[in-house]
Amino acid sequence: MSTPPSVLFVDHTAALGGAELYLLDYVRHREGPHQVLLFEEGPFADRLASADVPTRCLSGASAVLSFSRASGLMAALQAIPGGMRLIYQVAQAARACDVVFANSQKAFLIAAVAGTLTRTPVVWNLHDLLTADHFSSFNTRLVVAMANAFATAVVVNSEATRQSFVDAGGRQSLTRVVYNGLDAQVFEEARPANVREAQGIGDAPLVGIFSRLAPWKGQHVLLEALDTLPAVHALLVGEALFGDEVTYAQRLRDEVGQRGLSDRVHFLGFRNDIPALVNAVDVVVHTSVAPEPFGRVIAEGLLAQKPVIATRAGGAQEIIREGKTGWLVPPGDADALARAIRHVLSDPEEARRRARAGRREARERFSLGTMACALEATIHDAARTGG
């Protein structure tokens, strides 16, 4: 390939969500000139800096960052000056680049205008399902209209995400499905974390959820399932990351007390040693009650060769082949989840068979190399066709 285009990666958040971990995995291995621009400081910026990725955090964007589907007209008006400042700053940085790559919706809205002003092609990586579960119809209409008008390409993290974009009026010809790529070796080689002793779990069966604490991630469904699984312990790894998730996290902690599960449910907060923790559990559980756009945690469980139970919706159905590489249960169905956990624990031979098949497939389908090639090709095309 010719010299890699210079890329300005833009993300609105510096929290460590799945989309940010995905970008981190890509840029830390990418050759060639690039810079990451964030709209705030935080752990994502720190991780980029530790990986020697040139990174700049902008300031003064709080009104834009706090704007959400619940915000009213007043908040929208208050976000305008901050938005204009961001457009100016992104445009300044874009002038020196061949392509702008926006890794979130807010970043894309800003980048689309900045890219138009500077005639720089803009690629948008859409990580969310554009459905009513997640976004207001105004938000979806706005972002899709901007994509149709200004994006050179829209990378989507699953067929499900692609479908939601097209159903919302997005042009199918813009889309490229690129699955998250993960470092298989790290998950295969990590030594199990010493949680059993540290948490007083002993030899009890242990299931783990590795998602941020958020209502749509559905950790409450596991708590309900545990009522009928008296011997089973659970690790809840992750913390509230965004806005109103804090209330849900507190509700979960209260519910553990009310259900008498304090001895069996272990909240570990946000952790940076996920591979070691995944390797320490017997079963990986994914409980999202709204369709998951992709679901890195599902692929990570497979790479660690664990039996994985996920909810039958969205991208999860593209990662797990039911009956072959894992288990799928209806979202929000605590009884079905409890039955699946019982099945996995009572039939270890079947669990091992699916886990082995799952790892084999995941290594091929979710490799860092495949992801990097697909993203690089999209960026090259965008640089060639121009803004």
Site of interaction with ligand GLC (CB under 6 A): 17-19, 22, 127, 157, 180, 292-296
Separation in Å, CA 286 to CA 58, 180, 220, 290, 301: 34, 17, 11, 11, 10
Question: Segment 8-27, which members bind ligand UDP (CB under 6 A)?
Answer: 16-19, 21
For the bound state, the minimum distance from the C-beta of residue 297 to ligand GLC, rounded and expressed in Å, comes to 8
Considering beta carbons, is residue 38 or 99 the nearer one to ligand UDP?
38
Which of 97, 114, 155, 274 is close enough to bind ligand UDP by CB under 6 A?
Answer: 274
The tokens describing 102, both together, are 């926006």
237 binds ligand UDP, rule: CB under 6 A: yes
Separation in Å, CA 210 to CA 207, 219, 287, 306, 374: 10, 10, 10, 13, 27
Any bridge partners for residue 151, and if so which?
A: 122
For the bound state, the minimum distance from the C-beta of residue 216 to ligand GLC, rounded and expressed in Å, comes to 9
Q: Of 144-152, 165-173, 293-301, 370-378, which part binds ligand UDP (CB under 6 A)? A: 293-301
Which of 300, 333, 361, 376 is close enough to bind ligand UDP by CB under 6 A?
Answer: 300
CA distance 270 to 165: 31
CA distance 233 to 54: 42
Considering beta carbons, is residue 150 or 187 the nearer one to ligand UDP?
187
Question: Segment 216-235, which members bind ligand UDP (CB under 6 A)?
Answer: none
44 binds ligand UDP, rule: CB under 6 A: no
Considering beta carbons, is residue 22 or 327 the nearer one to ligand GLC?
22
Considering beta carbons, is residue 85 or 134 the nearer one to ligand GLC?
134
Contact criterion met (CB below 8 Å) for 174 and 122: no
Burial class (CB in 10 A: 0-12, 13-18, 19+), 380: middle
For the bound state, the minimum distance from the C-beta of residue 235 to ligand GLC, rounded and expressed in Å, comes to 20
For the bound state, the minimum distance from the C-beta of residue 319 to ligand UDP, rounded and expressed in Å, comes to 10
Which of 296, 306, 354, 359 is close enough to bind ligand UDP by CB under 6 A?
Answer: 296
Question: Segment 253-272, which members bind ligand UDP (CB under 6 A)?
Answer: 270-271
Which of 67, 187, 294, 327 is close enough to bind ligand UDP by CB under 6 A?
Answer: 294
For the bound state, the minimum distance from the C-beta of residue 314 to ligand GLC, rounded and expressed in Å, comes to 8
Pick one of ligand GLC, ligand UDP, none as the site partner of residue 157 (Cβ within 5 to 8 A by kind): ligand GLC
For the bound state, the minimum distance from the C-beta of residue 331 to ligand GLC, rounded and expressed in Å, comes to 14
Which of 106, 212, 233, 354 is close enough to bind ligand UDP by CB under 6 A?
Answer: 212
For the bound state, the minimum distance from the C-beta of residue 378 to ligand GLC, rounded and expressed in Å, comes to 15
CA distance 177 to 251: 36
Pick one of ligand UDP, ligand GLC, none as the site partner of residue 271 (Cβ within 5 to 8 A by kind): ligand UDP
CA distance 376 to 365: 17
Pick one of ligand UDP, ligand GLC, none as the site partner of residue 212 (Cβ within 5 to 8 A by kind): ligand UDP
378 binds ligand UDP, rule: CB under 6 A: no
Considering beta carbons, is residue 206 or 209 the nearer one to ligand GLC?
209
Closest CA to 142 of 172, 177, 106: 106
Considering beta carbons, is residue 47 or 127 the nearer one to ligand GLC?
127
Considering beta carbons, is residue 43 or 192 the nearer one to ligand GLC?
43
Q: Which residues bind ligand UDP (CB under 6 A)?
A: 16-19, 21, 210-212, 237-238, 270-271, 274, 294-297, 300
